[in-house]
Structures are given as structure tokens and as C-alpha cells.
Amino acid sequence: MTIDPEVQPVDPARLESGAWCRRAQKMIGEGDISASYSADRIGMGKPVRKPFSWSGGLWVCVGTSGRAGEVSAEAYRLVHPQVFEDRPATYAERTRNGDVARTDPDGFYHGMSVKHAGADMVLYGPPVRFVQGKQQQLDLF
């Protein structure tokens, strides 16, 4: 079963992967959505990277793609466990039963417990796929 996440266009700068600057010893030009990528940390039980803001909530990127010149990122909303109506599960618990997580209609990471800023949080699906959209222009006059 393939999950078809909601698709939302965002400013392309938010999806930029950036480049490592040896002199500054940090990433330069990385967008906030890309910088929140945390799938590697979730699987190891480490805290997620700094989430990004979108539509009044905090979100964490779990995957990126760059097919046919179009960059996209898949993300889940980050919520407090009290907001989640079921029992959160760890990555190990979600993946222990074979394809159960992969066939979840709310997505693979839905209901996974994670740590952020020292607090227990939950990833809430279904995921949203962020794609390059038109840059927003501000009308100042």
C-alpha cells in the first residue's frame, strides 16, 4: 500500500540542502525543512533535529527526494503525547511487526514517540509532502 501524502508548495529556499563550510564548520544555505531531517536519529532513539514551523505547528522531515529536478520533503507534525489519541510507540515497537507500520494509512512514522528539547513528543500523520512552489513576494507599498 502506498501512502499519498498531502502535497503543499513552499518557498524553494526551505528545501535547500545547503553546503558544508569548512571554515565556519557548519552548513550554509540549508533550508529549515531540510535541516529538520531526523529519520536517521529516530531509528537510533536520539532526539529529533530542530523542527520547522508550518501551518501553526511544528513539523519534522523524515525524507527528501530530488527527482526530475524537483526537490521535495516528507514531514510529520510533532505533537505532545496528550494530543495523540492512542498509545505512542517507539521505532522498535512500530517496526517489530513486519509491514504494519509500512501499511498504516496515517504513514510509517505516525504515532512514533520521539524526544525534542528533552521532552517526549509524538509524530502525527498522515505525512505532508512539501514541494518547491512559487516564492512568496511581499507587497510593501
Q: What is the mean pLDDT of residues 61-73?
A: 88
Query: What per-residue confidence (pLDDT) applies to 140?
Result: 52
Q: What is the mean pLDDT of residues 35-54?
A: 96
pLDDT over 80 at 68, yes or no: no
Q: Is the distance from CB of 36 to CB of 48 less than 8 angstroms?
A: yes
Question: Does the pTM of the predicted model rise above 0.75?
Answer: yes
* Cα dist from 79 to 62, 70, 82, 94, whole Å: 15, 29, 8, 18
| Model pLDDT for residues 81-123, shown as the tens digit of each residue | 999 999 999 999 988 877 778 888 999 999 999 999 999 999 9
Q: Give residue 69's pLDDT band: very low, low, confident or very high (50, 70, 90).
A: confident
Q: Which residues contact 90 (CB under 8 A, 6 or more apart)?
A: 45, 112, 113
Q: What is the mean pLDDT of residues 20-25?
A: 90
- Per-domain boundaries in the chain: 6-132
pLDDT over 50 at 141, yes or no: no
